[in-house]
Structure 1
């Protein structure tokens, strides 16, 4: 499972809120909801977030093994 828990702490460290993402950077509310619930998102969204936050992929997401992997 891919988890986006690191995204929220990276955003806090960079001083960027969810409101900023939606208003300044045009990240739609549906994408933010998908991130909050660790649902699938497109890689271009991950790329966009990394560019906005000036960070690496591992600063916003991590893989956690789950029982349903196979």
Structure 2
């Protein structure tokens, strides 16, 4: 499972807020909802978040093995 909890810590420690992400950087509220619920995001969005927050990808998301993962 991809977990986005690092994103919230990174955002908290940045000068940005959910308000600026939506209004200044045009990140949709649905994207923020996906982040809250650990729903899939495309890599372009993750790239945009890294650029906006000037951070590494591991400061936005992490992989956590889960029994709920799809079988390969």
TM-score by length of 1: 0.95
Which residue is 2:37 aligned to? Answer: 37
Deviations 1:9-62 (A, max 9, x none): 101111211111000100011111011100001100000000000000001100
Question: SS in structure 2 opposite 1:66?
Answer: coil
Name the count of aligned residue pairs.
70
Distance 1:35 1:11 in 2: 12
Instruction: Kindly report the root-mean-square deviation, in angstroms, between the aligned alpha carbons of the 2 structures.
Output: 0.8
User: Comparing both structures, which one devotes a greater share of its residues to helix?
Assistant: 1
Runs of 4 or more above 6 Å deviation: none
- For structure 1, which runs of at least 5 residues remain unmatched after alignment? none
- For structure 2, which runs of at least 5 residues remain unmatched after alignment? none
Distance 1:68 1:19 in 2: 33
